[in-house]
């Protein structure tokens, strides 16, 4: 087999890149090691920047998000018994859209199916070769057979645990990482959301988040120790602890119900540099991870896709490799800005095991400043709705 761009990884970033390129006449083949059902079964982010929604529309996969996505013009920050809203629309002219990653992936699958473009699931032993040459290729096993895919370039969209990042030699690869001493316990429940806004809450008991997937499906999170297991948190205990971390006007309005999904996710900040080596380009979680506090993981992958797609299109239109050579520097510039925002927001709202009274007072002062300063709220809003590409 031969294609122009081999895409390793069939999650949202790989599928989005594939569709954007396909619609502009660039051939792609997508290789995914998991089944389609597994990919669609992953519960992930649900806050989309305007730029991401625009890319979905450009990829021919934007009809359902435009019909079913929930537009949010503001977000609420709560602390102690108080809280305040930040009007994203008034401060930036933009909004965010609530639409689950599972639905994004399903829409991209449908678009891929509609154009009958090649995609292989359940691939084993996927491995790129000769990435620092003019003739890279990818080998993989599928349906019991060995395959070779020759290509011009390889896009590594295979996530944090994928094979692509490891292809960059260790002496040419830098990895920057910070782990956090807590996780997020999240549940999904078939109950109406407590508010039309997302509510981010910091309290003496730890962080909490009230989110949603639609008008009848709520997503709630609380900070918990990394040593905890979801089985340690029966539904009744979870709901009780969640309410303790929210202002009374919020906790009193929560409608509880049985969880239909419950999991604990550790928090990590991670960046790999460079995001390009030879004919290999890293994209999304293969190159960087952010804590979910700022809702930047999927959205930062989308900005990578934007830069990489533009670079490929310029190459295939003009033959110039300039944009491809600049991809890593351009993408990382935005990546580090989203890292900063996610790190700052995580530190603003979580409690740390070794936190001193001084640290807590600084946290309180930061929250009070955000509540009282339009300049601070504008900075928050600009980052939350998404920095320009």
| pTM for this prediction | 0.95
* Residue 228 belongs to domain spanning: 180-267+353-385
- Same domain for 126 and 20, yes or no, is yes
**Do 130 and 36 belong to one domain?**
yes
Answer yes or no: is 158 within a domain.
yes
Same domain, 33 and 136: yes
Q: What is the pLDDT of residues 339-387, one digit of tens each?
A: 999 999 999 999 999 999 999 999 999 999 999 999 999 999 999 999 9
Distance, CA of 285 to CA of 289 (rounded, Å)? 6
Looking at the fold, whether 205 and 66 belong to one and the same domain comes out as: no
Residue 320 contacts by C-beta under 8 Å, 6 or more apart in sequence? 314
Please give the C-alpha separations between residue 367 and each of 80, 112, 245, 275, in angstroms, as whole numbers.
10, 45, 16, 35
Asked if residue 290 is part of any domain, the answer here is yes
Catalytic residue among 200, 220, 307, 327: 200
Instruction: State the average pLDDT over residues 206-226.
Output: 95
pLDDT tens, 236-286?
A: 999 999 999 999 999 999 999 999 999 999 999 999 999 999 999 999 999
Average pLDDT over residues 119-129: 97
**60 with 155, same domain?**
yes
Write out the E strands in 73-173.
Answer: 74-79, 82-87, 96-98, 119-120, 124-129, 137-142, 145-150, 153-156
Whether 283 and 253 map to the same domain: the answer is no
| 327 assigned to active site | no
Q: What is the CATH number of the domain that holds 37?
A: 3.50.50.60
Instruction: Give yes or no: 384 in active site.
Output: yes
Calpha distance 253→311 (Å, rounded): 49
CATH number where 232 lies = 3.30.9.10
Catalytic residue among 12, 136, 291, 292: 292
- Within a domain: 87: no
In a domain, 83, yes or no: no
Q: First-to-last CA distance in the chain?
A: 34
Please tell me the total count of domains within the chain.
2
Examine the domain organization and report whether 221 and 112 are in the same domain: no
Across 109-136, average pLDDT? 96
Closest residue by Cα to residue 125 from 109, 138, 112: 138
Is 38 noted as a catalytic residue in this protein? no
CB 290 within 8 A of CB 342: yes
Choosing from 296, 306, 327, 350, the catalytic residue is 296
Q: Are 236 and 369 in the same domain?
A: yes
Q: Which of 333, 330, 336, 325 is nearest to 277 (CA)?
A: 325
In the residue annotation, 200 being an active-site residue is answered as yes
Identify whether residues 156 and 45 lie together within a single domain: yes
Flag whether 302 is in a domain: yes
Q: Report whether pLDDT(82) > 90.
A: no
Active-site choice (12, 22, 72, 221): 72
Are residues 171 and 314 both part of a single domain? yes
pLDDT band at 44 (very low <50, low <70, confident <90, very high): confident
Domain shared by 47 and 112, yes or no: yes
Got the DSSP string for 35-94? Answer: -HHHHHH-----EEEHHHHHHHHHTT--HHHHHH-EEESEEEEEETTEEEEEEHHHHHS-
Residue 72 annotated as catalytic? yes
The verdict on 162 and 188 lying in the same domain is no
């Amino acid at each position: 087999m031969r294609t122009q761009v081999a895409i390793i990884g069939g999650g949202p970033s790989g599928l989005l890149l594939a569709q954007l390129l396909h619609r502009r006449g660039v051939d792609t083949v997508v290789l995914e090691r998991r089944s389609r059902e597994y990919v669609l079964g992953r519960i992930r982010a649900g806050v989309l920047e305007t730029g991401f929604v625009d890319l979905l529309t450009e990829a021919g996969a934007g009809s359902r998000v435009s019909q079913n996505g929930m537009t949010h013009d503001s977000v609420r920050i709560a602390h102690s018994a108080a809280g305040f809203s930040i009007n994203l629309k008034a401060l930036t002219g933009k909004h965010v859209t609530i639409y689950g990653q599972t639905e994004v992936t399903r829409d991209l699958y449908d678009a891929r199916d509609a154009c009958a473009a090649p995609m292989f699931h359940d691939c084993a032993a996927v491995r790129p070769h000769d990435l620092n040459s003019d003739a890279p290729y990818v080998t993989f096993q599928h349906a019991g057979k060995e395959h070779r895919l020759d290509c011009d370039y390889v896009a590594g969209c295979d996530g944090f645990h994928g094979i692509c990042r490891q292809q960059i030699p260790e002496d040419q690869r830098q990895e920057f990482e910070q782990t956090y001493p807590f996780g997020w316990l999240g549940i999904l429940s078939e109950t109406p959301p407590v508010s039309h806004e997302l509510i981010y809450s910091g309290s003496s008991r730890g962080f909490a988040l009230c989110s949603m997937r639609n008008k009848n499906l709520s997503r709630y999170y609380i900070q918990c120790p990394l040593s905890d297991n979801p089985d340690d948190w029966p539904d009744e205990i979870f709901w009780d602890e969640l309410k303790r971390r929210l202002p009374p006007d919020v906790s009193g309005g929560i409608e509880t119900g049985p969880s239909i999904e419950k999991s604990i996710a550790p928090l990590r900040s991670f960046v790999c540099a460079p995001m390009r080596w030879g004919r290999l380009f890293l994209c999304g979680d293969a190159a960087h991870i952010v804590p979910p506090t700022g809702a930047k993981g999927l959205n930062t992958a989308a900005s990578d896709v934007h830069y990489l797609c533009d670079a490929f299109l310029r190459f295939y239109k003009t033959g110039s490799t300039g944009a491809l050579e600049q991809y890593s520097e351009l993408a990382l510039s935005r990546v580090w800005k989203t890292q900063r925002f996610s790190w700052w927001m995580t530190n603003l709202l979580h409690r740390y095991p070794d936190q001193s009274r001084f640290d807590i007072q600084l946290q309180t002062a930061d929250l009070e400043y955000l509540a009282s300063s339009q300049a601070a709220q504008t900075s928050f809003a600009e980052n939350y709705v998404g920095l320009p590409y």
